[in-house]
Structure 1
């Protein structure tokens, strides 16, 4: 089924670029975070991961997205840091589960294609990423997280509508437009679908 997330992804993706997914554990990230002053922290963290993963020729949009994510993560760490009394030992003990949990991931889009069979490619950090349509909803949600945080629902709906029209999905575009202009219609459609599902499962009477 075509979804709004599918069309938003189609709209914002640069199909001429290559994508890679990189990750770093939170403890290593925190250690680097701790080295820098607040007003220079995001820039220094971006320089750190750029050097660590050897980012090259990334798109401007991708750089903005990564810096937004760094700012968000930095803010969360700062909150935990303050609540720990700005004590490194207390911070590490208090946030042990969080620090050892899921790694921080960065989706990087490069403007230059990379050979897929070269030795350099095989030794390059990161792993190939699934197509958006084949990914789980959890993965789709993570990929558009920064987009959702930086755009309103109206902008995303319009983006989905425009993307649908550009790919010839006029009926889908019309549905998206109707829902955007009249959110109540979505509830009405859902009620109709639920009623139809119940009726399909209900044994037919003699009158039926």
Structure 2
């Protein structure tokens, strides 16, 4: 959906070719999410089918100029006015990996977490360096401002991921201690108290006073 409305937002600024849309989308997002040109034309075809854009001029699909329609502007406005739905989160590979690693024989959960933490820290350092470069620009263009916003989102996401990994590691340590307690065999019950058996003997005198 983000590509669909991203292209609509660019077309709202004026008609564009598919190759232009691809270049501008990647420029606006700093090539964080590169687009395949085939994906661009597939999306444009669906937008045209839904009446949200229209072709302008002749030529084949690769040389076709596209313009947004009024229906497209309304749809774009609704997108900007609506919050991004977080009740149906996208699949997160790292969360799935850790979930599947739990209880999988031969998987060292601590090592998985540590490797991911090192990688994410490295990525965050790269993003922070790029952010410093972006902030050094005296008169940034709209594309450069947009790229700065994307960079900051990536930095915040990396920071949150590192905090989550730290939490996962401490959680696993606590659970491991609990599971060790479970694995210890319960102590044997105390032996029952025993006493020397006693016999009550009753003597009956028979015929004593016959």
TM-score where L is the length of structure 2 = 0.29
Question: Which of 1 and 2 has greater Rg?
Answer: 2
Task: Return the structure number with greater relative CO, CA threshold 8 A, min gap 6.
Answer: 1
TM-score where L is the length of structure 1 = 0.29
